[in-house]
Structure 1
Amino acid sequence: MESKAATQKKTIFREVYVFDMEILQNIFVQNTREKAKDKMLFGMPFLLCEKDNQINSFASLILNQNNEIEFRIYDNGSLTNEEKAVFNDYIKDFLKNKRGANFNNAVQLKHSTKHFIHCLDF
């Protein structure tokens, strides 16, 4: 009989790297169910969640309709509600310590996101 520790899946959170983009794009497309007309919804990915060494969700900075910075989580459907809540709390704590322009300046985030989206091949 396996112990609970041996059967638990390991979940980690980490910052996004360039080599993660293909997987993040796939998750984004899964979430939009069709090609998003507004690619700006992809936003600026900054954190991701890995479970058993596979990326299953990511958090992205976006601008809402009031031109305010917020984050959105995109996932592949494999996270439990508890894991989603833990990831959401981790993101909020992470954002408290960020002082970079993309995290605090809506104009800078919009410019960076446009440039970033242009560089990606959707």
Structure 2
Amino acid sequence: METFVQNKAQLVYAEAYISDMTSLKNIFLQTQTLKKLNPNFGVPFLLAKKKEEIAAFASLVMNEKGQIAFKIYENSLSNAEKRDFTQRAENYFKKNNTPNFRNPEQLKSSISRMIGWLEIG
């Protein structure tokens, strides 16, 4: 009997940087079937990579109650990977005390600036 070793691609988690924004914008537009960014893009703060390619990101957004929340955008994660990434993002979200994570007005301003900057580029 032969045994096959499966080499599963391991997810690597990292903070989102400015250099990642073009890739994150593309994931958002593809998964939302949009041609232009909207406030739901938010302010990305965490990403997941498979090999060297970004597979998902977590972004700070304003929910319908006007509270700060986060949303996951992904295009190639399994259900188990989605759960793991969501848990990582939730932990990061709970521990971070910077203004974008705690001040709704600051986050609204940051989202507006982020979208404006990305739509120019």
Same fold (TM over 0.5): yes
The aligned amino acid for 2:31 is N
**Structure 1 residue runs without a partner (length 5+):** none
Give the Cα separation in 1 of the matches to 2:48 and 2:24.
11
Per-residue CA distance 1:11-50 (angstroms, 9 max, x = gap): 11110011111110110001111235x6111100000000
Could you say what the CA RMSD is over the residues aligned between the two structures, in angstroms? 1.5
The reply to whether residue 42 of structure 1 matches residue 44 of structure 2 is no
Give the Cα separation in 2 of the matches to 1:87 and 1:58.
9
**Structure 2 residue runs without a partner (length 5+):** none
Instruction: Work out which of the residue numbers 99, 116, 121 in structure 1 matches 2:119.
Output: 121
Identity of aligned residues (%): 37
Give the Cα separation in 1 of the matches to 2:62 and 2:11.
28
Give the Cα separation in 1 of the matches to 2:84 and 2:9.
14
Deviation at 1:2, TM superposition (A): 5.5
Q: Which residue of 2 aligns with 1:14?
A: 14
Q: Which residue of 1 aligns with 2:51?
A: 52
Give the Cα separation in 1 of the matches to 2:4 and 2:52.
21
TM normalised by structure 1 equals 0.89
TM normalised by structure 2 equals 0.90
The reply to whether residue 3 of structure 1 matches residue 13 of structure 2 is no
Equivalent residue pairs, number? 118
Give the Cα separation in 2 of the matches to 1:67 and 1:96.
17
Give the Cα separation in 2 of the matches to 1:35 and 1:16.
22
